Structure 1
Amino acid sequence: MIKAGIIGGAGYTAGELIRLLLNHEQTRIDFVFSTSNAGNKLYKVHQDLVGSTEMSFTNEINAHVDVLFLCLGHGNSTAFLNQHTFSENTKIIDLSNDFRLEANKIFNGKDFIYGLPELQKEVIAAANYIANPGCFATAIQLALLPLADANLISKDIHINAVTGATGAGTSLSKTTHFTWRDNNFSHYKAFTHQHLGEINQTLDQLQGDFDSEVHFMPNRGNFSRGIFATAYTTFNGTLEDAKSLYKNYYKNAAFTFVSDEDIHLKQVVNTNKCIIHLHKHNNKLLVTSIIDNLLKGASGQAIQNMNLAFGFNETEGLNLKANFF
């Protein structure tokens, strides 16, 4: 049994992380840190936890927990670790984008490993510090890893992906307010989304001669959670060649699966799964990828990385059924 601490406990990501850890047989939550909610019961903020725990938020930190999850806004993890020191035995899993890129991975002597299990499971298993991937980045990379690993990306990649409202966090803004989001659809950060950095970094890592451009159009969808991503690029093989390539690459993946049937978001919402579908049109390969942005795109993948780092079964605490009905 290991002790876990959570920093930034009031957001959607932390709420899902708490829910998962409460049902993880190898882990006990030691504290959930939130200065704005200190003293309040967790279920006062995360109302789905009524009856699940009587824990309260705290403004005190145990520097000797076995694992620390940073559920802070982008840029705030760096500031937090500058102000707080933890035991050398504490493994840290950061869910922001502060340490995902090679240029930022080493911080105060800590070497953060990029935590995409389908890319480098063995490296994660030996890591003390893990940078959890972004939600869009997870869905898109899982759509492209087999092609890059086989050095088959020779032309530009075009990506269109839609995320649910929870991807924007709990803070209200014009584009997250119900009256704006309901019955609405829009794009944002066209071709410039911050997750492009980690996507390109991974493609460079797998395919040494990668020099194509990734054209990414992110969209806001009229639903709460999930990411539906489509990517297409030139592929000279047959559809069966592509299926064989993808199924072989993911044959030992605990949560990523290739479906022969068309896919839709209800298959993955509330799970840590990524499901992929392939379609060939002339010389173009279309790859569709679906995940839950709060689970495989955030908290679920963080637990998956924790399981690997502590030698637990990779699926421990993550055997979740989709909200299909």
Structure 2
Amino acid sequence: MIKIGIIGGTGYTAGELIRLVIHHPKSNIKNVVSRSCPGKLIHLIHQDLLGEKIENMKFSPVIDKNIDVVFLCSGHGRSRKELSNIPSKIKVIDLNQDFRIYDQSFFNGRKFIYGLPELQRDSIKKYDNIANPGCFATAILLSILPLANNNLLQKDIHISAVTGSTGSGKKHSDTNHFSWRNNNISVYKIFQHQHLQEIEQIIRIVQKNFSSNIYFVPYRGNFSRGIISTAYTHSVSPLDETIYMYKKYYKNHPFVHISDINIDVKQVINTNKCILYLFKEKSKLIIISIIDNLIKGASGQAIQNMNIMFNLEEDCGLRLKSVRF
């Protein structure tokens, strides 16, 4: 059994990690660190865990050194400090954004690789340190990777995407307060969202001759979880050929599916799936992408990366059905 530690245990991503791991057949949780709630029963914070086998476990003030892998969920900008206290023999999966950009991916003798399995599965097997992709980045990259892989991104890419309130984290703010978010929608960080940097980085690595721009407009949605992204760009290829190319690219990837009909966010909530829908209007190819931001966009993808690192079946513990109604 893989022995797991989690640092930053009170947030949404940690809560989802715990929920996934307690039903994972090849791993168990050794300890969960929270410096704000040490000694407190975990299920008093993550109340959906009442009645589960972890309900008597308490938050720890420090990480147990007798673990195989640690998940860092303590918040952006804090991973380097946490790593200073983690022995080099312990594998690391960082759910923060600290090591996603390649020129920032070295620290204290550790080299992090960008952990998008549908792009770097073979490389992930060889690394002990994974930078888990951002939620927007996951949804968007999966929608355009096959085009980049075939050198078909020749002009600007325009993207809009809506995320649920859990994408803002558990810490209270004006923009995730119920009274503001309910019956409301807003744009933020136009063309400047932090995930745009990792999207551009990956696309320019996959398609080295890509020299156009990527324009990204993110929205705050009035729902709790999920992302729907719409990307469009110039395309001269017939739609049926493009769909075939996407299905071929993702043929051996268990969590990405191409739909023949239009899609909606509820199809992926509570799953590690990404579902894509493609159509054309004149010379524009439009790709709609949906994921659960807390699972495929965070904790589920982290488990997927762990499975690959430890040579398990990639979908081990992640065979989840959506909550459709």
Quickly name the TM-score band, shorter chain normalised.
Answer: over 0.9
Give yes or no for contact 1:64–1:89 (8 Å, CA) kept in 2.
no
TM-score by length of 1: 0.98
> What is aligned with 2:113?
113
Which among 63, 68, 71 is matched to residue 69 of structure 1?
71
Deviation track 1:259-278 (CA, whole Å, cap 9, x = no partner) reads 11100001000000000000
Inter-partner Cα distance in structure 2 for 1:2 and 1:263: 36
Alignment of 1:167-178 (within 5 A): 167-178=167-178
Q: CA deviation at 1:81?
A: 1.6
Is the 1:190–1:216 contact (alpha carbons within 8 Å) kept by the matching residues of 2?
A: yes
Percent identity between the two aligned chains: 55
Contact 1:70 1:95 (C-alpha < 8 Å) held by counterparts: yes
Aligned amino acid, residue 95 of structure 1:
L
Cα distance between partner residues in 1 of 2:298 and 2:63: 23
Cα distance, 1:182 vs structure 2: 0.3
In the TM superposition, residue 79 of structure 1 has moved relative to its aligned partner by 2.0
- What is the match of residue 261 of structure 1? 261
Q: Shift of residue 312 of structure 1?
A: 0.7
Q: Hey, what's the Cα distance between the residues in 2 that align with 1:231 and 1:147?
A: 12
Give the whole-Å Cα distance in 2 for the aligned partners of 1:85 and 1:4.
13
Find the counterpart in structure 2 of residue 43 from structure 1: 43
- Note the alpha carbon deviations across 1:142-169, whole angstroms, 9 max, x for none: 0010000000000000000000000001
CA–CA separation in structure 2 for the residues paired with 1:72 and 1:212 = 35
State whether residues 69 and 94 of structure 1, in contact with CA within 8 Å, keep that contact through their aligned partners in structure 2.
yes
Pairwise CA distance, 1:239: 0.7
Does structure 2 conserve the Cα–Cα contact (< 8 Å) formed by 1:226 and 1:269? yes
| 1:222-277 per-position Cα deviation (integer Å, ceiling 9, x unaligned) | 10000000000000011101101101100011100111110000100000000000
Q: Distance in 1 between matches of 2:110 and 2:304?
A: 21
Q: Distance in 2 between matches of 1:38 and 1:299?
A: 22
Higher deviation after alignment, 62-71 or 218-227: 62-71
Give secondary structure in 2 for the equivalent of 1:297. helix
For 1:214 and 1:72, locate their aligned partners in 2 and report how far apart those are by CA, in whole Å: 30
Cα drift, residue 60 of structure 1: 2.6
How far apart, in 2, do the equivalents of 1:279 and 1:307 lie? Answer: 34
Query: Could you tell me which residue of structure 1 aligns to residue 216 of structure 2?
Result: 216
Query: What is the match of residue 79 of structure 1?
Result: 81
Amino acid at match of 2:65: A
Distance 2:67 2:210 in 1: 41
Structure 1 gaps, min length 5 = none
The answer to whether the aligner puts 1:13 opposite 2:22 as a matched pair is no
Task: Name whichever of 52-61 and 148-157 sits farther off.
Answer: 52-61
Q: Structure 2 regions of 5+ residues with no counterpart?
A: none
Matched residue of 1:175: which SS? helix
Offset at residue 127 of structure 1 (A): 1.1
Amino acid at match of 1:32: V
1:64 shift after superposition: 3.0
The structural deviation recorded for 1:80 is 1.7
Query: Any idea what the Cα deviations from partners look like across 1:296-317, whole Å, max 9, x if unmatched?
Result: 0000000000000000111111
2:303 matched to which residue of 1? 303
4+ runs of 1 displaced by more than 3 Å? none
- Could you report, residue by residue, the CA deviation over 1:109-137 in whole angstroms, capped at 9, with x for unpaired residues? 10101100000100011110000000000
Q: Deviations over 1:195-223 (max 9, x none)?
A: 01110111011101111100000000010
SS at 1:298 equivalent = helix
Tell me, in whole angstroms, the C-alpha distance in 2 between the residues paired with 1:60 and 1:243.
49
Q: Which residue of 1 aligns with 2:182?
A: 182
Give the structure 1 partner of residue 235 of structure 2. 235
Residue 28 (structure 1) shift: 1.1
Partner Cα separation in structure 1 for residue 99 and residue 28 of structure 2? 26
Tell me which amino acid in the other structure corresponds to 2:4: A
Instruction: Provide the alpha-carbon RMSD of the alignment.
Output: 0.7
Quick check: 1:314 aligned with 2:319? no
Matched residue type, 2:280: K
3-state secondary structure, aligned to 1:85: coil
